[in-house]
Amino acid sequence: MRQISLVLFALLNCYGLLSCKSGNPEKVSDGNDQNLTLDKKWAKSFIDSINAKFSEQIALGDSTALASHYWPDAELLLDNSEVVKGKDILNALGGAIRMGVREMTFSTTDITGTSTFIIETGNYQMKDGSKSLLDRGKYVVVWENRNGEWKLYRDIGSTSMPAAAIGMTKH
């Protein structure tokens, strides 16, 4: 049961894996603009598009596509586990998909940051193929812009369900 929980937490945190080019020259970092303010309207649009892409890739079971959106030095910081880094992120995502996660939904509650970093806070739900609730909780995702490309730098997630209930709740 504990192993299932860890895999589910890893999947939650991978939601931030997806990245895209901003297409907005104001968002390109040259390393000297860390104090520029964040365009929150753009950031909300970016986050919404990532959430949609992430949900699609979860439904397809494509852990490789999901993992490709982490920076090489990214870290998953999950409940009851050591830090997951680099190539181990792909294994964690694949494990969550093999354990039956087929749907994830996200509700962003706050976005803040600069033109180099976006900090997103929100809530998540994970379901299996029959739409049964596997887990729900909260997350903090730190996105980093490197030369105009946004990818996940740090990913922190925490369940809101009692340990015994993870993976057992049916709705």
Amino acid 16: pLDDT: 40
Contact (Cβ atoms closer than 8 angstroms) between residue 139 and residue 122: yes
Q: Which helix (H) or strand (E) holds 72?
A: strand 70-78
Q: Can you tell me which residue has the tokens 């997350």?
A: 139
What pTM does this model have? 0.75
Amino acid 168: pLDDT: 59
* Number of C-beta neighbours around residue 103 at 10 A: 16
Amino acid 63: pLDDT: 92
Segments of the chain with pLDDT less than 50: 1-33
Amino acid 61: pLDDT: 95
Q: Which domains does the chain have, with CATH numbers?
A: 2-165 (3.10.450.50)
Amino acid 30: pLDDT: 39
Contact (Cβ atoms closer than 8 angstroms) between residue 133 and residue 6: no
